[in-house]
Structure 1
């Protein structure tokens, strides 16, 4: 039976780059309150944008999506779900809102995890919502010919309830002891939760929601304003590689946590970096709104979407963004690429 003990950090985890990333995130956390005092109205807009992006990205990783208009209407609760995909998107929206609004009052306990999972499927007819898996499962992959290979075999269903209970107990014990940084504990907990794979469905989305919950409860609030899930979606191949590299030997407690911890810390650090850039752009920039939109192209390589611009400039209306993009197109400074949801703009060199 797999055991969990976070009072002793796994051997070899404290690599120099991991220590440096933890220190850098600490520095950002120290400046976090200054950022949060910047402009309350703009920060609220950033929060709403991040919620939409997080809900969209976390579901897209699992192949669940809808149109931009339907997504925005669902997030604003202007409409009811019309498909299974939209029902699951609405469920993620609800759980994410609960975590954003009440993280201080949500303990990381098995019963709470079950409740969050039940709410994730509250708009569906799912019979497994809020229940541990009732049959053994496996993480599989398919090759180009459609052949299936078992990449990782999680704990059997019968062992799941006890494993999740011990996982939560180990996390609480390590947090109370205070020997290791909550950032590291959150990464270890998240990965072990994925390896237990406690549900018939929704394990990936639950792991990302729990990551946010653990970060918020430890004072790392960046995910409220910059979508961590979107960063994971943008680097999903690296995400899957890190999971694959860290999973061999997990059942025997011989796995290597370094790849997944390095990856998750990198995602959190990138989010804090973006947060600082956006807040500083709001508070100290003397550029006009049009100049700030144009400046986005100088900071990004490759295609830039309207969503990218609105995430970096949350105080600028969509009308102003569209008007500025048209002006940049007319002047030949950018070109339009793609169509529909894939529409983007590329700066001419």
Structure 2
């Protein structure tokens, strides 16, 4: 594998610096009680497990994920969705407990794949083993019928060699500090997904490996804020940025910027979400921090217990798309809670 030549624009440099600055401040910021930190981590874990499995087509809500995980020791997982959730949770727990003793090796990658698919009866034959059949990324129509190949992944014959080369490059780059750690993670993940080394579970495993690599690079705050939920919120851009970079990987001068830019913006949003939650825990957020329209929205709940998007738009006179953004921010900040789905969605003021 050739050394990536990533051109960092001023915006990308700024993103890297902002994430690194927060990494440096984390020790001082995490002065909450162990109980509150544990609660933050539990929420983030539920969000991560739910989002990462939903990105790949699972249907369980965060509430259903939380219920399942609270009974995980005594459950038999009957549905595919439940099996995927249980496996993802166990893989994440393994990383949180043992990341310091898990350098990036092919053996550890295969071990994590085994854990990820431990409960999946459909995947029993190929857990922890590189693919034996082609698994190109395909488009599926509304009836579940394959309508064409979007991206050709590595062949089963090429996969062992390409994985060996990728892992060797990443370990060398980490040991020699030849690139910024965040860029090493970004390059590794986009290449890993282009190879698609396992028959199934590659997307979920890529997000598990992202967490592992970030923790090993010293980004100790990662378990307390979900990166997966940020990716789920931007799922379309996630796939587009992956493809835009992946389709250039076999030319002399790959275009790294679509994927690297997306990845760094997700890390910034992950960090921002954690800052909001930490400030809320410390009681430091008041309405002066909010845009005027957000303050208006919150005031509506002084007289109404529950409101939907249409009613909020009508009462504030605001732009519907702006209201959507502000509602999403207020939910992320823990000021409102969201209930229902699609057109039946409604909001309540969060109880503290």
TM range (shorter): 0.7 to 0.9
How many angstroms does 1:152 deviate by?
Answer: 1.2
2:93 aligned with 1:71? no
Distance 2:42 2:113 in 1: 22
Contact 1:65 1:89 in 2 (8 A): no
With 181-190 and 64-73 compared, the bigger mean Cα shift is at 64-73
Q: Provide the residue aligned with 1:25 in structure 2.
A: 19
Residue 140 (structure 1) aligned to one of 133, 138, 141: 138
Distance 1:169 1:64 in 2: 33
SS in 2 for 1:241: helix
Contact 2:245 2:255 in 1 (8 A): yes
How many angstroms does 1:312 deviate by?
Answer: 4.0
Distance 2:241 2:48 in 1: 21
Unaligned runs of 5+ in 2: 288-293, 299-321
2:101 aligned with 1:105? yes
SS in 2 for 1:82: coil
Q: Provide the residue aligned with 1:84 in structure 2.
A: 80
Equivalences for residues 184-203 of structure 1 within 5 A: 184-203=183-202
Distance 1:39 1:182 in 2: 30
Inter-CA distance 305–257: structure 2 relative to 1 (3 Å threshold): same
State the Cα deviation string for residues 23-42 of structure 1 (Å, max 9, x = none): 11111111111122233221
Distance 1:255 1:284 in 2: 47
State the Cα deviation string for residues 239-292 of structure 1 (Å, max 9, x = none): 01101211113234543111001000000011111111221222252869xxxx
Aligned residues: 316
SS in 1 for 2:109: helix
Distance 2:33 2:343 in 1: 31
Q: Provide the residue aligned with 2:218 in structure 1.
A: 219
SS in 2 for 1:127: helix
SS in 1 for 2:138: strand
The answer to which structure, 1 or 2, has the higher relative contact order (CA under 8 A, 6+ apart) is 1
Unaligned runs of 5+ in 1: 289-293, 314-320, 326-335
Q: Provide the residue aligned with 2:91 in structure 1.
A: 95
Q: Provide the residue aligned with 1:318 in structure 2.
A: none
Q: Provide the residue aligned with 1:329 in structure 2.
A: none
Inter-CA distance 67–284: structure 2 relative to 1 (3 Å threshold): closer
Distance 1:286 1:208 in 2: 31
Distance 1:201 1:295 in 2: 46
Equivalences for residues 169-248 of structure 1 within 5 A: 169-248=168-247
How many angstroms does 1:305 deviate by?
Answer: 8.5
State the Cα deviation string for residues 112-154 of structure 1 (Å, max 9, x = none): 1111101111112221111100012211124679662212111
With 80-89 and 230-239 compared, the bigger mean Cα shift is at 80-89
